[in-house]
A and B are shown apart, each in its own frame.
Chain A
Amino acid sequence: MNGENGAEETTYEVPIGPIHPALKEPFLIKFRLDGEEIVDAEPHPGMNHRGIEFMGMHRNPMEVIPLSERICGICSIVHQHMFTTATEHALQIEPTNRARYIRTIMCELERIHSHILWAGVAAHEIGFDTHLHLTWKIREKVMDLLEYIAGNRVNYSMWTFGGVRRDITEEMHPKISETLEYYEKTYDKLENIFLKDPSIKMRTKDVGILSKKKALELCGVGPTVRASGVKKDVRIDQPYAAYGDIDIDYVIPSRYGFEDKGDVFSKTVVRLKELLQSIDIIKQCVAQMPEGEITSEPKKAALFNKLEKKDGEGIGRIEAPRGEAIHYVRLSEGREDIDNWKIRASTYNNLPTYAPMFMGEQIADIPIIAASIDPCIGCMDRAEIVDIRSGETETYAREELHELSVEKTKKLKEEGI
């Protein structure tokens, strides 16, 4: 096969499964290069089929609740919430009002830890490992709070059909407000690092731009498209849990005096401002939390029988820290196990947005741009680089890319731009 400029190109076999087996959703991006510049990027998802849906379809809904939260180690509440709401939808049962508020608080706590984790990863990708450690230290506080409320640091096992399994009692309020205060105090520090530091700005501003038009065309979700100025947030567009009662607005950079540019910097702005938003939401929830039962189905054995005898299908939607995600569940009468289960996580929608983001950028910018959508994959473990001039192919391991990225930061610093 001959390329446009006559140079010979060869076709390559995509290796299946060599991508880091420890990571959740390994995938591959193929880049075409003109010297240092990326002229084409093609994401290849689907490298590792975990068969979670299949496993779920061989278990009854009660067994799938703990399984669903193990889809993702960071968004475990998110998946659990979607699965339970989809099943509640199919069963036509409603969670109690108190449970709705507890669910909202947990979802927002998870958003806080996820966004801070992202900030650390982003700093690491551009070679600021001190910031990685600093942010992750800050993140520990919310992990402690989650552990205090749910009994677990991750995989909280809080949800059940019709409500939650653990209450947020009056005694827990002081610890919650203490944690929130801590985050309000440390927020300035984070903003100083990520939005004001000149060396970080050099690496994030005008890098990996996703225009509003492209964001809409490619159906991206979450902070990735909000950074381009797209007003899209399930919490507002189709409120679930207690979000209908809460005062909340779209977080887009222009609301805070920044440009809706869609570059890595705008995405950082959105994620950091969402920290403040989450703190605000939790405060509202704690203040307004109604009294009452935490679940509408306290008799578990009766609920279990109900699950067996029900026909129906349901959908659960949520605004995960990474954007909208959906679960679909179908139950059929006389079958103990779930009939059908479909999961669509947010990163799946955001992958196509890589193509315009990478266009015209350099190899050294690959790690930070890849991280900018907060992929629920260990970003790129391996990228295959094709030089269109020579048709040569090289495979870059994650470490090498990281080295390149760190070198670029050093070079920019030395040049003193």
Chain B
Amino acid sequence: MPTQTIYTLIKQLLKKKTTNPFPVKYTPDNMHDAQELIEEGKLEINPPVEVPPGFRGKLKYDKESCIGCQLCVKVCPSEALVFTEERKVRHYVTRCTFCGQCVDICPTDSFEFTDEFLMAGPEKLYDDLVLNP
């Protein structure tokens, strides 16, 4: 048993980590200062992990090609899509569940998934995260 333990320990030391690293090793005392440091290039952060192919990230909406058929609004489970007066749709990113039903049903392919996933808002209808506001 002890030999196995030692063997496992040595193997663990040499192996690549299974988990993904955090952006920074320790939580900074002050988030704003840290952010400024990053912008100035004084603090390096671990880049986010790579996304798999076919990842369902933030949507991209092509307003021009949209014909205003409202099908996407009907199949959206979380009411993230709202039909506007100009006969286009508005998309609230913070409400979206990334199910992709709008992408599937749209006859003109106006919706598309992107690889972007770093997005969060403090409320359900967060103003800063709206497509076609």
Give the interface of A toward B (CB within 8 A): 59-60, 62-67, 137, 140, 144, 147-148, 150-152, 155, 157, 160, 165-166, 300-301, 304
Check B56 against A152 for contact (C-beta < 8 Å). Answer: yes
Partner of A157, one of B18, B55, B78, B100: B100
Question: At the interface, yes or no: B38 with Cβ under 8 Å from chain A?
Answer: no
Interfacial chain B residues near A150, Cβ < 8 Å: 54
Q: Which residues of A contact B105 (CB under 8 A)?
A: 62, 300-301, 304
Return chain B residues, CB-CB under 8 Å to A59.
77
Task: Report the minimum CB–CB distance from B71 to chain A (whole Å).
Answer: 6
A67 and B77 in contact, given A301-B107, A304-B71 (Cβ under 8 angstroms) = yes
Residues of A within 8 Å of B75, CB to CB, are 60, 62-63, 300, 304
- Chain B, residue nearest A147 (CB): B52
Q: A140-B18, A301-B71 are in contact. Are A66 and B54 (CB under 8 A)?
A: no
Q: Using CB atoms and an 8 Å cutoff, list the residues of chain B in contact with chain A.
A: 18, 52-56, 71, 74-78, 97-101, 104-105, 107, 113
**Which residue of A is nearest B107, CB measured?**
A301
In whole angstroms, how far apart are the Cα atoms of A137 and B56 in the complex?
A: 24
A60 contacts B74, CB within 8 Å? yes
What's the Cα separation between A137 and B15 when bound, in Å?
A: 13
A404, B56: Cα distance in complex, Å = 44
Contact A157 B77 (CB under 8 A): no
The distance in angstroms between the C-alpha atoms of A414 and B52, with both chains bound, is: 48
Using CB atoms, name the residue of chain B closest to A298. Answer: B104
A-B contact pairs, 14 of them (CB 8 A): A59-B77, A62-B101, A63-B77, A65-B77, A65-B101, A66-B99, A147-B52, A150-B54, A151-B55, A152-B98, A155-B97, A157-B56, A160-B104, A300-B104
**In the complex with contacts A301-B105, A301-B107, A62-B56 CB distance below 8 A:** no
Give 8 new A-B contacts, CB below 8 A, not counting A63-B75, A66-B99. Answer: A63-B74, A66-B78, A67-B77, A140-B18, A151-B100, A155-B97, A160-B104, A301-B107
Contact A66 B101 (CB under 8 A): yes
* Residues of B contacting A60 in the complex (Cβ-Cβ under 8 angstroms): 74-75
CB distance from B37 to the nearest CB of A (A): 31
- Cβ of B4 to closest chain A Cβ, rounded Å: 10
Chain A residues near B18 (CB, 8 Å)?
Answer: 137, 140
A66 and B71 contact, CB distance less than 8 A: no
The answer to whether A66 and B77 touch across the interface, beta carbons within 8 angstroms, is yes
A165 and B100 contacting across the interface, CB-CB below 8 Å: yes
What's the nearest-Cβ distance from chain B to residue A60, in Å? Answer: 7
Cα(A64)–Cα(B77), bound, Å: 7
Q: How far is the CA of A166 from the CA of B113 in the complex (A)?
A: 14
In the complex, what residues of A have CB within 8 A of residue B71's CB? 300-301, 304
Please indicate which of the listed interface residues A63, A155, A160 has the most CB atoms of chain B within 10 Å of its own CB: A63
Of the candidates B52, B74, B113, the one whose C-beta lies within 8 Å of that of A62 is: B74
Contact call B54/A166, Cβ cutoff below 8 A: yes
Q: How far is the CA of A358 from the CA of B55 in the complex (A)?
A: 45
